[in-house]
Every structure is written in C-alpha cells, then in structure tokens.
C-alpha cells in the first residue's frame, strides 16, 4: 500500500477532543487579540480546520510578531531553528 504523508498523519490522539469538550468552541477564543511581543501557547483546536498550524507545533510557545488578516504571525523555536508560524486565534492561548 502507498505511504500517506498528509498533514494530519499520526495525530489520532493529538487532534482529538475529550468527550465533554466536543462541539462548538467558545466565541471568546475566536475574537481574542494579542499584541506584538506577547507570548502565546499553540494549542490546536481540532474542530476548526481553517488556520490550523502544523501539528508538530502543538504545545509549543511562541512570540507574536505581527498580524496577517485575522491570523497572527508567530516566531516559534524548533530545535536550533526559529520558524515563522501563521495561526488563527482559535488555536492560540495567552501565556500567563
């Protein structure tokens, strides 16, 4: 059988919600704003496919660099490299 290398491969547990968290996400997550320089956690909401960052960045913390439309541009450390990530606010949580 052919190898399948889609973006969501091997994410059965990572991109699934708990039983009681299923359904529509709160609107507050979609309208949150971040200032440039703010630190945010990338926590993917699997119920919203649009603006979803790559699953390898799930659980990482990055810095907001700017805004592109409704989405935010982040700088995230990936090993020794620094990657630029574009994600909608539904997939971001402010670091406390």
Could you tell me the CATH number of the domain that includes residue 34?
A: 2.30.30.70
Domain assignment of residue 55, yes or no: yes
pLDDT at 3: 81
Domain assignment of residue 80, yes or no: yes
pLDDT at 1: 75
**59 touches 13 (CB < 8 A):** no
Domain assignment of residue 35, yes or no: yes
User: First and final CA of the chain: distance in angstroms?
Assistant: 46
- Look up the domain containing 49 and give its range: 25-94
Domain assignment of residue 6, yes or no: no
Domain assignment of residue 20, yes or no: no
Domain assignment of residue 65, yes or no: yes
Tens-binned pLDDT, residue by residue, of the chain (96 aa): 788 788 888 889 999 999 999 999 999 999 999 999 999 999 999 999 999 999 999 999 999 999 999 999 999 999 999 999 999 999 999 998
pTM to 2 decimal places: 0.89
pLDDT at 4: 79
């Amino acid at each position: 059988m052919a190898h399948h290398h889609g973006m969501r491969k091997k994410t059965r547990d990572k991109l699934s919600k708990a039983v009681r968290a299923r359904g529509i996400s709160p609107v507050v997550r979609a309208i949150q704003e971040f200032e440039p320089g703010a630190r945010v956690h990338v926590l993917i909401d699997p119920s919203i496919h649009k603006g979803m960052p790559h699953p390898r960045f799930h659980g990482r913390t990055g810095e907001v660099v700017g805004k592109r439309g409704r989405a935010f541009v982040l700088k995230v450390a990936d090993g020794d490299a620094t990657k630029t990530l574009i994600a909608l606010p539904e997939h971001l949580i402010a670091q406390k």
